[in-house]
Amino acid sequence: MKTLIVSALLAAGLVVTGCQSSMSKEEFQQRTEDTGYNTVIFTDYDLNRRFKDGLTGPDNVMRLSTTGHGIERTDTGTSQVWVELRNHTDFNYMVEARTSFYSQSGRPLDARPVWRRISVPANARAVYEEKSVSTDRLQYRVEVRQAR
Amino acid sequence: MNRRHLMAGLGALMVMGGCTPSSQVDNVAGQASVYEDPSSSGRVQGVGIESQDVVAMTDEMMRDMLSNRILAARDVPPRIIIDNEYFKNESSSIINTNLLTDRLRVELNRAANGRMVFVGRHFADMVEKERELKRDGAVDGGTIRQTQATAGGDYRLGGRIASLDAMDRNSQTRSRYHQVTFEMIDLELGTIVWSGSYEMKKASQDNVLYR
């Protein structure tokens, strides 16, 4: 009888462990979805993430979000991308962002993207800007992560 | 009884002697050196200017210069000199300013793609020696062309690195604020046609040695 109970408990433990390590449908979708062009992506999922936090938890947990982003041309014909970030927490956040530029056909163009630091004060907004070196018409993809 | 004690003591000494050799080989794999991304913070971090700062600030200045009408939208591309002759380090950080000016010139030259022309003033000696050899007839004239003189610059980079240090004596936390200014000077008029600055403040308890 005792052996039976121990075996059952072990099996239950294995099942629970298996369930915990598996990724929720939302998280899997967020990690693998096609991000497209002219978008801002939080590559650090701790900043902005959709997931199931247990049975009753929220579906979307965010510390930072974007309130707007766009692209415009400068006087010399290069492009300038802007992203406004909003901090929803009571803590100052130091984040890094970089912009990859693409041609209209989707070919990666321009100089190698470089991480740039931005300070987003608690419960406030900050703007990240990046200029291209190419004068072609470009698409962009901005990646945001927590600074280390 | 005494004899037995003596034997046991001798045995223990022999064992201890065998266990503590005077030299040994540490026959385990060492910590392999690893490549790190120069544009991200690495394992060793302090309050000084580091590779990610060099990359970030030169990249930002390069992109900003290419959006300036005076520098990047002229019908005749301006001749620009970028070297560390007038780029001074007045900060408490140890840094070779060539790291900044060299990267800026190289990246800008590659990205400008003809919108700017760069004068290699730091190679002036090399050019003069070759020109003398050509003029003396020691070598032929080459295949490109001959000019009266070497190129004069329209604009030249100047700049400064300054810093402000602070230390908390209780926690031994050290912080350093850096202000790096980049300015492009009109070499005829003396006016500043473009300016850029990069600021950063770092705090650290670790004692990192920069060389």
For residue B66, what pLDDT is reported?
95
- Is B66 within 8 Å of A78 when comparing Cβ atoms? yes
Domain residues for the domain of B60 are: 46-204
Higher pLDDT, residue B32 or A139: A139
- Give the range among A64-68, B128-132, B142-146 with minimum mean pLDDT: B142-146
ipTM of model: 0.78
Residues of B with Cβ-Cβ distance to A143 under 8 angstroms? none
For residue B90, what pLDDT is reported?
97
Domain residues for the domain of A55 are: 36-146
Statement to judge: residues A28 and A52 lie in one domain:
no
Identity (one letter) of the amino acid at B30?
A: G
Statement to judge: residues A49 and A27 lie in one domain:
no
Residue of B nearest to A111 (CA): B111
* B133 within some domain: yes
Statement to judge: residues A43 and A89 lie in one domain:
yes
Band (pLDDT 50/70/90 cuts) for residue B159 is very high
For residue A8, what pLDDT is reported?
64
Helices then strands, counting H and E runs in chain B, come out as 5, 6
Statement to judge: residues A60 and A110 lie in one domain:
yes
What is the dihedral sign for C-alpha A75, A76, A81, A84? negative
- Is B59 within 8 Å of A114 when comparing Cβ atoms? yes
How far away is chain B from the Cα of A80, in angstroms, using its nearest Cα? Answer: 9
Residues of A with Cβ-Cβ distance to B67 under 8 angstroms? 74-76, 78, 80, 131
Q: Does B66 touch chain A (CB under 8 A)?
A: yes
Statement to judge: residues A51 and A115 lie in one domain:
yes
Statement to judge: residues A110 and A81 lie in one domain:
yes
Q: Does A72 touch chain B (CB under 8 A)?
A: no
For residue B21, what pLDDT is reported?
55
Identity (one letter) of the amino acid at A133?
A: V
For residue B98, what pLDDT is reported?
97
User: pLDDT averaged over chain B?
Assistant: 89
Using a CB cutoff of 8 Å and minimum separation of 24, what contacts does B192-199 make? B193/B68, B193/B70, B193/B71, B193/B155, B194/B64, B194/B65, B194/B68, B194/B70, B194/B71, B196/B60, B196/B61, B196/B64, B196/B65, B198/B53, B198/B56, B198/B57, B198/B60, B198/B61
Statement to judge: residues A140 and A91 lie in one domain:
yes
- pLDDT, tens digit (0-9, with 9 covering 90-100), for A34-88: 888 999 999 888 888 776 655 566 677 789 999 999 999 999 999 999 999 999 9
Residues of A with Cβ-Cβ distance to B73 under 8 angstroms? 75-77
- Is A133 within 8 Å of B111 when comparing Cβ atoms? yes
- pLDDT, tens digit (0-9, with 9 covering 90-100), for B184-210: 999 999 999 999 999 999 998 876 777
Residues of B with Cβ-Cβ distance to A148 under 8 angstroms? 40-41
Q: Residue B142 sits in a domain of what CATH number? A: 3.40.50
Residues of B with Cβ-Cβ distance to A76 under 8 angstroms? 66-69, 72-73, 115
- Is A133 within 8 Å of B63 when comparing Cβ atoms? yes
- pLDDT, tens digit (0-9, with 9 covering 90-100), for A13-30: 555 554 555 777 777 887
Higher pLDDT, residue A61 or B178: B178
How many Å apart are CA A77 and CA A82, to the nearest integer? 16
- A125 near A86, Cβ under 8 Å? yes
Residue B117 has pLDDT above 90, yes or no: yes
* B35 within some domain: no
* B33 within some domain: no
Statement to judge: residues A104 and A126 lie in one domain:
yes
Q: Does B70 touch chain A (CB under 8 A)?
A: no
Number of domains in chain A: 2
* B167 within some domain: yes
How far away is chain B from the Cα of A21, in angstroms, using its nearest Cα? Answer: 29
Q: Does A24 touch chain B (CB under 8 A)?
A: no
Statement to judge: residues A82 and A14 lie in one domain:
no
- pLDDT, tens digit (0-9, with 9 covering 90-100), for A111-132: 899 999 999 999 999 999 999 9
* B211 within some domain: no
* B23 within some domain: no
How many Å apart are CA B152 and CA B39, to the nearest integer? 34
Statement to judge: residues A59 and A117 lie in one domain:
yes
Statement to judge: residues A134 and A93 lie in one domain:
yes
Residue B156 has pLDDT above 70, yes or no: yes
- Is A111 within 8 Å of B111 when comparing Cβ atoms? yes
For residue A6, what pLDDT is reported?
63
For residue B20, what pLDDT is reported?
56
Q: Residue A75 sits in a domain of what CATH number? A: 2.60.40.3230
Q: Does B64 touch chain A (CB under 8 A)?
A: yes
Residue of A nearest to B54 (CA): A114
* B144 within some domain: yes
How many Å apart are CA B24 and CA B21, to the nearest integer? 7
Q: Does A69 touch chain B (CB under 8 A)?
A: no
- pLDDT, tens digit (0-9, with 9 covering 90-100), for B15-69: 555 555 567 888 888 888 889 999 888 888 889 999 999 999 999 999 999 999 9
- Is A111 within 8 Å of B200 when comparing Cβ atoms? no
Statement to judge: residues A63 and A99 lie in one domain:
yes
Number of domains in chain B: 1
How many Å apart are CA B150 and CA B142, to the nearest integer? 15
Higher pLDDT, residue B102 or A3: B102
For residue B99, what pLDDT is reported?
97
pLDDT above 90 covers what percent of chain B? 69
pLDDT above 70 covers what percent of chain B? 89
